[in-house]
Amino acid sequence: MSFGERVVAWLPQRWLAKVLAHAELLKFLSVGAITFVSTVVIFFGLKWTVLPQNPVTANILAVLVSTILSYVLNREWSFSNRGGRPQHHEAALFFGVAGVGLALNQVPLWISRYILDLRTPHVSFIAENLADLVSGTILGTLIATAFRWWAMSKFVFPHQPTQSAETVDSETVDSDLDKSA
């Protein structure tokens, strides 16, 4: 028995039913975790090297790279059972929603930096980076993630998961039997 099978067997059936009912959301959040890590690494990599005076620009670039990764992972995994739109139309909607999410992501960092003035020399290097992490990375990501989940499932990948061929065939047969009776 594999590790995954042991974990599934260990879970109470009512928990398993709830997890499976929310599998799409769990996949979306897993993609979010992967892209969150990539955003943090890219953001601080840029902020500490080539863009030390432009943290908002560094964050925008980090979010853009992670957004491309997010599109691929969400399309191929999180929402793989949905479809019905041409890929170019779906991609345009995805990046439109991601653009709004990008803007929402920047608001807390911008407020922290330019309204609250949490930057050197007004605060220490550690306080500045902690404020950037909390506002730009954590708070901004939470706000943008909530928006993106709503918009992705409503506009970008709106169709419910496709039915299996067996279910469609049995429904067609039942429908044909009802008509002939």
Looking at residue 16, what is its pLDDT?
59
Looking at residue 178, what is its pLDDT?
52
Helix (H, G, I), strand (E, B) or coil at 2: coil
Looking at residue 50, what is its pLDDT?
95
Q: What residue ranges of the chain have pLDDT lower than 50?
A: 162-170, 172-177, 180
Looking at residue 57, what is its pLDDT?
92
Looking at residue 49, what is its pLDDT?
95
d(CA 53, CA 12): 52
Looking at residue 165, what is its pLDDT?
40
Which sequence spans correspond to the domains of the chain? 25-160
Looking at residue 102, what is its pLDDT?
85
Buried b (16+ CB within 10 A) or exposed e, 69-98: ebbebbbeebbeebeeeeeeebeebbeebb
